[in-house]
Chain A
């Protein structure tokens, strides 16, 4: 019996190498967004219940109800969502799937849309410098997605979805327990948008015509007596997107100048294997070995610009967890290896060329956790890595947690991150414009630029208390990221230019978030958040705010659920309100009048709502709306009358491009 208890603890042990044993208290709270007072790091856990609240078809759309993450559109064509934390874009986050880095390199721009929302069991969002165990690249945060495990899965699940912007989705999950040790799940996902829509009459499709098929087969082995656990995944994805002008036909118009169009076709194959062993009679001592291989192949063009990138990637991580004299002192030590082979070809004015290369690194890490089981814990980690492009370097990270009185928690963190900026893969939205690209440095190892290095420090305080006898909590976060070097993307030089160069001067991002959450009566939760960002960079032309970043933001989410009746019936209601303050826009002064934007975009409001009716414990229907206030950016695509002219730019997006969207779906399970 005890063996089972300890072995079950192992599964999260492979997940959270350090914070394992203390978290496993079965909480019957229905909170879908949990900030544990026991975790040392500033981590919020989003459970699958939280993911059901948004229209939420894939991972990129799962963060709409989480105030710590800002979601915005990168361009007016592809419908790609980009997430930001602490004001910094997703390349500065470490995005992992079951602790294996997933969205990086070639998949940086669209990678989040390659994981369907129904596959996700929970998401851990950590602000600030994260753990050293998974890598050295994270700067402003870490997002780890846990997928549904075959041993806990139900035999069958079906989800069908349709929306007024002509998108349909189908998710089917199958699961079978082959023996008491082996279980397997098969997830099949398909989505598509098959018709053209141009609601804002600019001659361009508001959303791409698209098709995606995504299949994953997972196997889980667990032998509780012997202490072995293993996960084996195989996954294939094929995604096609076509955007551009109405009536664009690739067969007739590709690379011509009659109609402007774009296609982004991506194929991916992922294989991963994770094996873990719990030492007999020592549940605090485990060894785990993760291996992941992926192949990513993207062929794309944007009008006359073309971009092909293929990445073969291998990641291996060996982690040993144990204690020093007792479980108040834990440590993790291990070895890590990565290999990336890029085949990258760009046909874009002034940077046309072959940027193929190989990146590899080997590293070792050590992380010590002290937890006095009461009011203080700390995690101190360091990594040493040798990378063929980034050199040999150390990455230190420190997290502290102190609970001064009942319900209060103070956290602090500091850490360093270093990464190679994949300037083309991370800024693909700029290809959908007439900008001429220039890389101003030539002696660095990363496209002629130097690696990006940043330090992140922060602190947070939260307090739970009772307000009129009901639970409430309030708190604030304060973080600062300082770049020692950055691959600056400069759009201030002019509307027809895009410059890339090593930072000369300073670049920093300061963020403040103030939260207040309250449960005024049973099943009714209010979440509110105010965010302030101060992000400035020294550009060649002067010191400016980062473009497309609002200084002030306000968010609130209301959720209400009725009591679950005996036959499993209930109603759930959800409403999200977002106010975005004015945003600095890049320089368009030299453009003719119609294509000239103001220095700042006006503030605006977006609202989402959803109603779910659960008819039994196995069947539910839901309907909802996004951007129900129908706010649309007045001029989404500059120069859309003449897409082959010099003012064309579809990347100047700061607000929703399409207006209101309504959707409906069903979920059916067999337990």
Chain B
């Protein structure tokens, strides 16, 4: 019984090579756009990354065989921007250009 469950569970593990995710990422001006997108691209497996200040969303297409969406959130947070549930450290936030310092909920 357990064996069958185990087999079917692993059969469903097929990774999406073109998974789409919308990650809410906070940022202010155009400057932030470059930093956020660059951070996303630094993760191998991210095929496309677009962020716009009007919708405060990072749209990515990700090859899940190479990385997970959590890897991307962590890379963006490391650059200083809160990405969904992964928050940037205070040190990273302070390092941002002054126009980029978005409002943070504490």
Contacts and interface: CB of A to CB of B under 8 A. Distances in A.
B47 A323 contact: yes
B48 A326 contact: yes
Q: Which of A2, A21, A327 has the most CB of B within 10 A?
A: A327
Contact of A325 (B18, B37, B47): B47
A282 B38 contact: no
Given A283-B48, A284-B47, A374-B34, A326 B18 contact: no
Interface of A: 2, 21, 281-284, 323, 325-328, 372-374
Given A2-B20, A325-B47, A326-B48, A282 B37 contact: no
A328 B46 CA distance: 10
A209 B47 CA distance: 59
Contact of B44 (A325, A328, A372, A374): A325
B87 interface: no
Interface string B34-77: 10011001001011110000000001010000000000000000
Contacts of B37: 373
B18 A281 contact: yes
B22 to A, nearest CB: 8
Given A282-B61, A373-B37, A327 B47 contact: yes
Q: Looking at chain B, what size class is its interface with the partner chain?
A: 10 to 19
Contacts of A327: 47-49
Interface of B: 18, 20, 34, 37-38, 41, 44, 46-49, 59, 61
Given A2-B59, A282-B61, A373-B41, A326 B34 contact: no
Contacts of B47: 282, 284, 323, 325-327
Contacts of B34: 373-374
A2 B21 CA distance: 11
A564 B49 CA distance: 38
B59 to A, nearest CB: 7
Contacts of B48: 21, 283-284, 323, 326-327
Contacts of B38: 372-374
A286 B41 CA distance: 21
16 contacts: A2-B59, A21-B48, A281-B18, A281-B20, A282-B18, A283-B48, A325-B44, A326-B41, A326-B48, A326-B49, A327-B47, A327-B48, A372-B38, A373-B34, A373-B37, A373-B38
Q: Which of A21, A325, A326 has the most CB of B within 10 A?
A: A326
Nearest to A282: B18
B1 to A, nearest CB: 36
Given A2-B20, A282-B47, A323-B48, 18 more contacts: A2-B59, A21-B48, A281-B18, A281-B20, A282-B18, A283-B48, A284-B47, A325-B47, A326-B46, A326-B47, A326-B49, A327-B49, A372-B38, A373-B37, A373-B38, A373-B41, A374-B34, A374-B38
Contacts of B61: 281-284
B76 to A, nearest CB: 14
A327 B61 CA distance: 10
Nearest to B44: A325
A373 B18 CA distance: 21
B39 to A, nearest CB: 11
A328 B41 CA distance: 8
Contacts of A21: 48
Nearest to A406: B31
Nearest to B62: A326
Nearest to B52: A25
Contacts of B46: 326
A282 B48 CA distance: 9
A52 B67 CA distance: 51
Contacts of A284: 47-48, 61
Nearest to A3: B20
Which 3 A/B pairs are nearest by Cβ-Cβ distance?
A281-B18, A327-B48, A374-B34
Contacts of B59: 2
Contacts of B41: 326, 328, 373
Contacts of A325: 44, 47
A267 B38 CA distance: 54
A611 B47 CA distance: 50
A326 B38 CA distance: 11
A409 to B, nearest CB: 15
A8 to B, nearest CB: 14
Contacts of B18: 281-282
B32 to A, nearest CB: 12
Contacts of A374: 34, 38
Nearest to A279: B18
Contacts of B20: 2, 281
